[in-house]
Structure 1
């Protein structure tokens, strides 16, 4: 088990941020968790420690939203996400974190800038098998290595302007399936050693605290604010990931 106090100074807020996102408040803030923990360890180890905690959070989120999700969208994005997870596992030794960070960062920035610079209020989009399959696959792929599937799936879901609870419930189901699908590959790749599992167990009690905080905030925020926060966090995290990816490639 990790005993360094500096690690817990980074890990505790990282887990709480993920829990708040799983509870439905500003989902894109979750993407900050792995980079925060990566200040004191490798991103791969941070992702391995977080995965069991995320699965526990997913189960809580499913119970919290209790069937309030969009089944039409899930029928499109879930199969595609599993293809993305398989691709992520196959490419795990080939692509480094910097490549994935650059890709997600560019997607997030271009998408949010397009939304903000567009004149007038765009009409809500319908669910699309073509778009949903593409973004579902991208989200599964980017989620595999550094748990960064949020921006791609939001690029697909946010323009549909779903009810806030329906949106967050759909995202909760999506990542519950994706995170469970990652388990066999993480085990095969040797990511779950004794140190990582014991450290995850120590951090696990923070999971329900974060999820309940997120759901409490979601219920007390109006729908317009939730969407505005999603776009703002998507832009900020996109910029952060773009910077991290460029820095990683430069120093690599």
Structure 2
């Protein structure tokens, strides 16, 4: 049976739409707002398992919209690191409990906001020259691990991609392809850990139309809405949800 609590859908539907908007229009930088919110009302493992089929669906929709516009060399660099990063995530998840995962998710959320604020305030300046591929591999490693634990692998990859000064659409297409592959690897890991279930898949079918609507809305917003407006909303949501998860995990 799918999740039947109406209160769950009051939280899940906006979270899934926001996830679609982020995936469809603004790269992978704020995808995990949805994960942080869902982890407030579900056990972290259940939230991870619930979102991965929707992420893969959104990836497919995005691949069509951005087909062939990515930089294949950069995708390969990120994946060289992301594969062992996902494997590390599987290992860590096996040895920690739900409260530790809540703290990890909350910490990633808060650190992401602090990094973006520092970047936009000029306290941290992007490198003037493109970072070497070795840094991209490390960014892929961090992204793969963080993505497995929290669906929040965007920041490390984004930091590397920023240094390459990519055109906006190339940046978006590159993240879409890279994280599509990462999400396939994550799905295999979640199945191995027993985080997937028939009940969650049926719940995904209920949420699927909202995911697709979010993708459509994100593609439109990509052309019309300044990034700064979207991310300001994301910052507020991440600080609230991340702080609550850290509190819940520690208490």
Which residue matches 2:30?
29
Give the SS at the match of 1:10.
Answer: helix
> Structure 1 residue 219 and structure 2 residue 223: aligned?
yes
Q: Distance in 2 between matches of 1:37 and 1:78?
A: 27
Question: CA contact under 8 A between 1:151 and 1:234: conserved in structure 2?
Answer: no
The separation in 1 between residues aligned to 2:249 and 2:19, in whole angstroms, is 27
Structure 1 position 52 matched with structure 2 position 53 = yes
Query: Does the 8 Å contact 2:56/2:183 carry over to 1?
Result: yes
Does the residue aligned with 1:93 lie in a helix, a strand or coil? helix
Alignment of 1:129-168 (within 5 A): 129-168=133-172
Measure, in 2, the Cα distance between the counterparts of 1:119 and 1:142: 24
CA distance in 2, matches of 1:241, 1:140: 22
Secondary structure of 1:92's counterpart equals: helix
Contact 1:80 1:137 in 2 (8 A): yes
What is the root-mean-square deviation of aligned Cα atoms in Å?
Answer: 2.6
Q: CA deviation at 1:25?
A: 3.0
Q: Over residues 49-95 of structure 1, what are the superposed CA-to-partner deviations in whole Å (9 max), with x where a residue is unaligned?
A: 11111101101111110111122321211121111001001111224
Q: Which of 188, 193, 198 in structure 1 is aligned with 2:192?
A: 188
**Where does structure 1 differ by over 6 angstroms across 4 or more consecutive aligned residues?**
none
Instruction: Give unmatched runs, 5+ long, in structure 1.
Output: none
80-89 or 95-104: which moved more? 95-104
Structure 1 residues 132 and 121: alpha-carbon distance in aligned structure 2, compared to 1, 3 A threshold: closer
Q: TM-score, normalised by structure 2?
A: 0.86
CA apart distance, 1:210: 1.1
Counterpart of 2:82 in structure 1 is 81
| Residues 35 and 142 of structure 1: CA distance in aligned 2, closer, same or farther (over 3 Å) | same
Instruction: Single out whichever of 6-15 and 233-242 deviates more from structure 2.
Output: 233-242
Number of positions where the alignment pairs a residue of Structure 1 with one of Structure 2: 247
Residue 132 of structure 1 deviates from its aligned partner by 0.9
* 1:177-218 deviation per Cα after TM superposition (whole angstroms, max 9, x unaligned): 110011221111111112111111221222221111101111
Shifted more, 55-64 versus 108-117: the winner is 108-117
The 8 Å contact of residues 77 and 133 in structure 2, kept in 1 or not, is answered as yes
Q: Normalising to structure 1: TM-score of the pair? A: 0.86
Point out where structure 2 has 5 or more consecutive residues left out of the alignment. none
Mean Cα displacement is larger for which, 151-160 or 104-113?
104-113
